């Protein structure tokens, strides 16, 4: 403890604080304008200056560390006068109107506090305004040159958009475009607006109108950022990042922060619909429930429970997914239940469960700042998990090494120490070649090998010949570069892996993850800070949906139906079918064969997003009865729903999500459900009751459901709503005293001390290029849109990214006679789509990349029906295509 005197009072403080930290803790207010706890203290405004006895000069409280025995004076008349002088200098040319209009802005507040509000004598200047951006409004006549925007853009987002031109009193803060913010490299994270102490950079939405703020968890990706949603008159007006969140540390991305307008989009459906004469027409809930009950009961009696299936939603809460799988098993009597994890990270969950015992990230986001090497495999976090992408960027800017395995030169690949730009579909070959290098060059962690790994001798014989020199030509990478990457991963430890769908969405997706796990095992990069295998989960609750049991073979807590059925039956007081269920893809196949007759789909546009669209269509067309729960008439609902049930959005209900680092965080009702919409769990409970199974679904709140989850899932027993009131907790968390688990497998794996290292031979995908289909297409997402675009396409994000594009290397485009912005026909063996073309060197010649956010483009007409050999995830990442100039006009891009 440090003993410190502040204004003649004695205090004790722990080490590692600044003077300002201490003052804030004591609620002694000193003015600050350039300070923000998210950035390194800048010390430019010179307002927080205090006197430290023995120091000839005043010091900045924000930058000066607290030292034992320090005597600090904060508010002498002399110091206050200096503050006043500096504040007055800042006020002189500041627009008076701004101060009057918004007295609560940080700078204005200090002017009032020092009685200087009338010193602001300037005027708004139209020439200093920039209204180009859909979310941010710029008025540099209100800029006091505190550099917070510059520093937060550099130190938090790592984008370096805001730059300072000139010097002295001619310093001007401008976007890197030199023109407007829209034309700059801005990624619209909004951090600058969040930190700006004046109105110079502000959200166009009603930051100032918000009456109440409610803490909740972001409804977009699997990072699970905590945020405070500002509401006025039951409408969301603004979103701010939770400052002290361990996940996002006061940061958000363009989706979480700004893309909330979908909640009140004009085409949101808020009444139940029923298909009559081919038309979906409004009906009452009773009518909808009656139709569902009679149809399901009819099909059940005619074809048995095997003919029914249900898909939970990665967008819905844990509680809702728990109810959904229980509904499938208890009410429908089938294990035909799955969710969209099937098409993304089920390979990760399966591979990691088999090899490590737990099918979830081994480490936490906080390990990023500990890792000395980051291995990013088939993931593009700066677009798809932007807040984690930003943390990774900062870590690399601080000097950490980074290896990126990706066919494309993504933003992280461009700043990587080593970019392994492999040919799509050759992950296993490449990862094995890295492992062979480790073995050949003796770079293994010998003690880890001895203590934690079984079967190394067999593996050694298998892997040794699979050298980089053999993989090189097929992967398209120089063997020495592969060796360098392996050396880096093994020697600059701790090394942390993040992987994404570039690894999993392949015929060898599960096996690819297993190969990655092998690398971590060989080098001992597991169970320690700054290490691990960490799947970057795509959706807010995709980890949770599957973990709650929306999977044909597992029950809540990721335990097998076969093994744990009886335990669950006791708690539920109901029978659980023992018959093996069908997964999503198998259900589609069964529907095609007319064995599956009815499908209930919750918050998931299956038709649009499944691969090989014409087969999906054929399957849906044969289904007798389709129930869709969603906010909007998505493509599945529009084309195939027999009954559509309007549901509450993530902002309109209570519950929890599970993020990519196993954290259970609270979701809160921020606004009321729109129109007649109900939460997913309410709907399921009501139908269960209608079908005579109400006794098994007696819930009155999300918390009651969660408590039942805790009763069946031991690793979550310690996670009560009370404990996650402020911040989420990471499972395993065995009891109410347990602090949660940041790092798995430290001493033992979930099934024991040792694990078997696995020999995985490379099996090339049957999807191959030839003269007719010479290009390899991969598909993915971009920063501004989310998956099927259901939410983001209904927000001003479409001004930031107007369309999907086919990204082509200019060389190829030139050969094809395509010009930028022209539309191209993308033809595969399975179908075709038409997209506007964009030139980029990020894509290698012979390859192409397209996003799939715009429903009208139906990109999945093109993708193949090949699936992961173990768990059936579709191979979205490799399709052989032909590209032709199209005469059809794509949607206007302007």
Partner 1 sequence: MTTNESFYHLPEGTKLPAFCQGTACFVARHVHPQRWREAAQQTRRLYCLGKCHLAPASLKDSARPLTQVHASQAIVLERIAKRVAPTLAAYQAQGGYQALEKARALAPEAIIRSIEIADLRGRGGAGFPTARKWRAVQTEIAKQKYIIANADEGDPGAYIDRLILEEDPHCLLEAMAIAGHAVGANKGIIYLRREYPAALTTLQTALAEIQKTDMLHPFAIEIHLGQGSYVCGEESALLNAIEGKRPEVRTRPPYPSQHGLFGSPTLVNNVETLANIPWIIRQGGAAYAALGFSKSRGTKVISLNSLFRRPGLYEIEFGMSLRQIVEDLGGGLKHGHLKGLIIGGPLAGIVPPHLLETPFGFEELHAIGAAVGHGGVIAFDEQTSIGSLIEHVFQFGAYESCGKCTPCRLGSRRISEMSWQSEEWSDLIAALRDTSLCGLGTGLAEFAESIQRYYHQELEDLCCKSP
Length of the chain in terms of residues written: 894
Binding mask 373-412 for partner 1 (x = CB under 8 A): --------------------------x-------------
Residue (of 719, 404, 726, 346) closest to 539 by Cα position: 346
Residue numbers 709-738 binding partner 1 by CB under 8 A: none
Contacts of 520 (CB under 8 A, 6+ apart): 497, 526, 531, 532, 533
SS (H, E, C) 741-761: CCCCCCCCECCECCEECCCCC
Task: Report if residue 76 touches partner 1, rule: CB under 8 A.
Answer: no
Contact call for residues 824 and 885 (beta carbons, < 8 A): yes
Pick the closer one to partner 1 by CB: 41 or 584.
41
Pick the closer one to partner 1 by CB: 30 or 501.
30
Task: Report if residue 55 touches partner 1, rule: CB under 8 A.
Answer: no
Which of 6, 20, 39, 49 binds partner 1 (CB under 8 A)? It is 49
Task: Report if residue 85 touches partner 1, rule: CB under 8 A.
Answer: yes
Pick the closer one to partner 1 by CB: 83 or 393.
83
What's the start-to-end Cα distance of the chain, in Å? 62
For residues 596 and 604, give the distance between their C-alpha atoms in angstroms, rounded to a whole number: 18
Contact call for residues 832 and 612 (beta carbons, < 8 A): no
Q: Residues touching partner 1: how many (CB under 8 A)?
A: 32
Pick the closer one to partner 1 by CB: 87 or 587.
87
Contact call for residues 382 and 411 (beta carbons, < 8 A): yes
E strand or H helix that includes residue 174: strand 172-175
Pick the closer one to partner 1 by CB: 84 or 487.
84
Pick the closer one to partner 1 by CB: 3 or 81.
81
Task: Report if residue 81 touches partner 1, rule: CB under 8 A.
Answer: yes
Pick the closer one to partner 1 by CB: 151 or 205.
151
Alpha helices in 222-328 (DSSP H): 254-258, 285-303, 318-326
CB of 812 to partner 1, least distance (A): 35
CB of 116 to partner 1, least distance (A): 13
Task: Report if residue 53 touches partner 1, rule: CB under 8 A.
Answer: no
CB of 141 to partner 1, least distance (A): 15
Q: How far is CA 161 from CA 73, 199, 394, 507, 858, in A?
A: 38, 18, 15, 40, 35
Q: How far is CA 183 from CA 93, 382, 521, 844, in A?
A: 28, 19, 46, 26
Contact call for residues 274 and 288 (beta carbons, < 8 A): yes
Kind of pairing between the strands at 212-217 and 847-851? unpaired
CB of 33 to partner 1, least distance (A): 8
CB of 839 to partner 1, least distance (A): 29
Pick the closer one to partner 1 by CB: 170 or 446.
170
CB of 151 to partner 1, least distance (A): 11
Contact call for residues 428 and 762 (beta carbons, < 8 A): yes
CB of 167 to partner 1, least distance (A): 5
Contact call for residues 631 and 790 (beta carbons, < 8 A): yes
CB of 128 to partner 1, least distance (A): 17
Task: Report if residue 60 touches partner 1, rule: CB under 8 A.
Answer: yes
Alpha helices in 92-180 (DSSP H): 96-101, 106-113, 148-152
For residues 248 and 251, give the distance between their C-alpha atoms in angstroms, rounded to a whole number: 5
For residues 786 and 769, give the distance between their C-alpha atoms in angstroms, rounded to a whole number: 29
For residues 526 and 891, give the distance between their C-alpha atoms in angstroms, rounded to a whole number: 48
Task: Report if residue 289 touches partner 1, rule: CB under 8 A.
Answer: no
Pick the closer one to partner 1 by CB: 163 or 303.
163
Pick the closer one to partner 1 by CB: 18 or 634.
18
Task: Report if residue 12 touches partner 1, rule: CB under 8 A.
Answer: no
Segment interacting with partner 1, rule: CB under 8 A, options 78-86, 536-544, 587-595, 746-754: 78-86
Residue numbers 450-469 binding partner 1 by CB under 8 A: none
Task: Report if residue 354 touches partner 1, rule: CB under 8 A.
Answer: no
Residue numbers 14-43 binding partner 1 by CB under 8 A: 41-43
For residues 820 and 838, give the distance between their C-alpha atoms in angstroms, rounded to a whole number: 5
Rg over alpha carbons for the chain, rounded to the nearest Å, is: 28
CB of 795 to partner 1, least distance (A): 35
Residue numbers 117-176 binding partner 1 by CB under 8 A: 145, 147, 163-171
Q: How many CB atoms lie within 10 A of CB 249?
A: 21
Pick the closer one to partner 1 by CB: 50 or 517.
50
Task: Report if residue 185 touches partner 1, rule: CB under 8 A.
Answer: no
How many Cα atoms sit within 13 Å of 372 on the Cβ side? 9
Task: Report if residue 77 touches partner 1, rule: CB under 8 A.
Answer: no
Pick the closer one to partner 1 by CB: 90 or 218.
90
For residues 718 and 702, give the distance between their C-alpha atoms in angstroms, rounded to a whole number: 17
Give the interface with partner 1 as residue ranges (CB under 8 A): 41-47, 49, 57-58, 60, 63, 81-82, 84-86, 89-90, 92, 145, 147, 163-171, 399
């Amino acid at each position: 403890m440090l003993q410190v005197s502040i204004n003649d009072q004695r205090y004790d403080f722990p080490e590692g604080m600044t003077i300002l930290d201490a003052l804030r803790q004591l609620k002694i207010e000193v003015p600050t304008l350039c300070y923000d706890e998210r950035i390194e203290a800048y010390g430019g405004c010179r307002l927080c200056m205090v006197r430290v006895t023995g120091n000839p000069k005043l010091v900045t409280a924000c930058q000066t560390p607290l030292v034992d025995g320090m005597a600090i004076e904060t508010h002498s008349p002399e110091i206050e006068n200096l503050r006043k002088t500096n504040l007055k200098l800042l006020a002189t040319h500041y627009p008076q109107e701004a101060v009057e209009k918004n007295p609560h802005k940080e700078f204005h507040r200090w002017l009032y506090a020092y009685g200087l509000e009338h010193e602001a004598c300037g005027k708004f200047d139209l020439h200093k305004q920039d209204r180009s951006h859909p979310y941010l409004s710029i008025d540099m006549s209100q800029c006091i040159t505190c550099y917070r925007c510059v520093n937060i853009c550099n130190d938090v987002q790592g984008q370096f958009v805001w730059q300072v031109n000139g010097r002295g009193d001619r310093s001007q803060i401008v976007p890197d475009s030199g023109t407007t913010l829209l034309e700059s490299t801005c990624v619209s994270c909004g951090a600058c607006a969040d930190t700006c102490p004046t109105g110079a950079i502000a959200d166009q939405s009603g930051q100032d109108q918000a009456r109440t703020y409610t803490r909740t968890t972001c409804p977009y990706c699997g990072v699970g950022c905590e945020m405070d949603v500002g509401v006025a008159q039951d409408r969301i007006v603004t979103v701010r990042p939770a400052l002290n969140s361990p996940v996002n540390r006061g940061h958000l991305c363009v989706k979480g922060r700004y893309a909330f307008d979908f909640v009140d989009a004009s085409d949101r459906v808020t009444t139940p619909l029923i298909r009559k004469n081919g038309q979906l027409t409004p009906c009452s809930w009773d009518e909808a429930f009656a139709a569902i009950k009679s149809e399901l009961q009819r099909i059940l009696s005619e074809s048995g429970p095997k003919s029914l299936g249900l898909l939970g939603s990665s967008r819905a809460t844990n509680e809702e997914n728990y109810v959904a799988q229980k509904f499938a098993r208890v009410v429908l009597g089938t294990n035909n239940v799955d969710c969209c994890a099937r098409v993304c990270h089920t390979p990760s969950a399966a591979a990691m469960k088999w090899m490590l015992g737990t099918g979830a990230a081994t480490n936490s986001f906080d390990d990023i700042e500990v890792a000395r090497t980051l291995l990013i495999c088939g993931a593009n976090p700066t677009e798809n998990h932007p807040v984690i992408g930003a943390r990774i960027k900062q870590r690399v800017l601080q000097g950490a090494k980074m290896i990126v395995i990706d066919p494309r030169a993504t933003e992280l690949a461009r700043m990587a120490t080593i970019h392994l730009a492999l040919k799509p579909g050759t992950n296993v070959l490449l990862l094995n070649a890295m492992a062979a290098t480790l073995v050949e060059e003796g770079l293994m962690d010998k003690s880890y090998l001895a203590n934690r790994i079984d079967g190394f001798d067999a593996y050694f014989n298998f892997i040794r010949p699979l050298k980089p020199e053999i993989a090189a030509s097929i992967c398209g990478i120089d063997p020495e570069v592969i060796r360098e990457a392996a050396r880096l991963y093994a020697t600059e430890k701790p090394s942390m892996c993040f992987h994404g769908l570039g690894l999993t969405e392949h015929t060898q997706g599960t096996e690819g993850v297993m190969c990655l796990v092998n690398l971590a095992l060989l080098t001992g990069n597991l169970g320690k800070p700054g290490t691990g295998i960490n799947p970057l989960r795509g959706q807010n609750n995709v980890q949770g949906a599957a973990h709650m049991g929306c999977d044909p073979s597992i029950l809540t807590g990721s335990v097998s139906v076969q093994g744990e059925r009886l335990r669950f039956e006791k708690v539920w007081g109901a029978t659980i079918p023992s018959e093996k269920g069908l997964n999503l893809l198998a259900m589609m196949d069964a529907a095609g064969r007319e064995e599956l007759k009815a499908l209930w789909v919750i918050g998931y546009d299956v038709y649009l997003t499944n691969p090989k669209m014409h087969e999906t269509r054929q399957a849906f067309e044969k289904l007798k009865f389709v129930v869709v729960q969603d906010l909007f008439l998505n493509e599945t609902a529009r084309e195939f729903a027999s009954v559509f049930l309007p549901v509450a959005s993530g902002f309109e209900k209570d519950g929890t999500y599970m993020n990519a680092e196993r954290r259970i965080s609270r979701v809160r009702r921020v606004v009321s459900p729109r129109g007649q919409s109900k939460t997913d769990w309410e709907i399921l409970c009501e139908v269960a009751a209608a079908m005579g199974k109400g006794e098994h679904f007696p819930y009155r709140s999300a918390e009651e459901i969660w408590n039942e989850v805790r009763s069946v899932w031991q690793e979550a027993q310690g996670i009560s709503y009370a404990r996650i009131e402020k911040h989420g907790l990471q499972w395993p968390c065995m009891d109410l005293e347990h602090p949660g688990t940041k790092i798995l497998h430290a001493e033992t794996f979930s099934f024991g001390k040792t694990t078997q290292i696995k020999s995985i031979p490379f099996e090339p995908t049957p999807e191959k290029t030839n003269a007719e289909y010479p290009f390899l297409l991969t598909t993915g997402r971009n920063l501004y849109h989310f998956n099927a675009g259901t939410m983001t396409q209904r927000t001003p994000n479409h001004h930031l990214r107007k369309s999907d594009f086919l990204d082509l290397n200019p060389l190829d485009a030139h050969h094809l006679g395509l010009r930028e912005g022209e539309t191209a026909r993308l033809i595969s063996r399975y179908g075709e789509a038409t997209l506007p073309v964009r030139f980029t060197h990020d894509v290698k010649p012979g390859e192409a990349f397209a996003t799939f956010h715009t429903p009208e483009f139906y990109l999945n007409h093109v993708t193949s029906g090949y699936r992961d050999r173990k768990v059936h995830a579709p191979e979205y990442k490799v399709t052989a295509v032909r590209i032709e100039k199209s005469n059809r006009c794509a949607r206007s891009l302007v």
